[in-house]
Amino acid sequence: MTSSSAAPKLPRLIFDPAEPAIYAFPPNRETLGGTAYLLTDPTGNILIDTPAWTEENQIFLRDQTVKWLLITHRGGIGKQLIKLQQTLQCQVLIQEQEAYLIPEVETTTFHHSHSLNEHTTAIWTPGHSPGSSCLYSHVHGGILFSGRHLLPDRQAQPLPLRTAKTFHWPRQLKAIAALQERFMPETLHHICPGASIGFLRGASTIDDAYNKLMQIDLAPLAETQALM
């Protein structure tokens, strides 16, 4: 006998062994299918973009000690940001060019980068939006939470996506070049994209991340037309 109601969609643990634990939330319709993450840390957990404010997510997050909520781009804000911030009593971190979009929320802003703890840093990666940013952590061999700056294509390869709403395509490509210069094989093992995770075909992250990042050929992308 089957239940008439669908099983609740819960945050999914994406690493095993799970120290530190990282959870991926189900796609959020309010952020156009965006995937939010929770990165646990003894100094205070970090929420990356806003998950759907469902009963299941509320129960899960109330059991966590969330210190930071990083907004990686304006599309990751979500309609329930105020409720989420007030409930969790967390600090909202956002690149300074996006902060004006949420005047009712007290924010911590940054320009080029901001250290959340000794091994986790927010990095300004403009282009998708003026204040688009990524979060990098040294854990698990190095993880880049890429927001919508880099998304998986149909072959699960990380790529920038130029759309009619892309703020500044040349700046986005320049920001990718800066990431290519920033990392080494030993410092970047995984990418956790902020959307399009269905293209990962059940995988939790884009693995072999450094090599796949370096395989992005920026020259032909500069001629790419915007997708409507």
* Total-model pTM: 0.94
Angle, nearest 10°, between helix axes 55-62 and 81-88? Answer: 30
**pLDDT (mean) for 16-26:** 88
**What tens digit of pLDDT does each residue of 130-160 get?**
999 999 999 999 999 999 999 999 999 999 9
pLDDT band at 3; cut points 50, 70, 90: very low
**What tens digit of pLDDT does each residue of 170-194 get?**
999 999 999 999 999 999 999 999 9
**What tens digit of pLDDT does each residue of 54-68 get?**
999 999 999 999 999
**Is residue 137 helix, strand or coil?**
strand
CA distances to 16, 78, 151, 208 from 160, rounded to whole Å, are: 28, 22, 6, 17
Amino acid in the structure at residue 184: M
**How many whole angstroms separate alpha carbon 222 and alpha carbon 170?**
7
Within the chain, what is the greatest distance between any pair of CA atoms?
57
In terms of Cβ atoms closer than 10 Å to its own Cβ (0-12, 13-18, 19+), residue 119 is middle
Considering the chain, what is the average pLDDT of its residues? 93
pLDDT band at 11; cut points 50, 70, 90: very high
pLDDT surpassing 60 at residue 4: no
Domains of the chain: 12-221 (3.60.15.10)
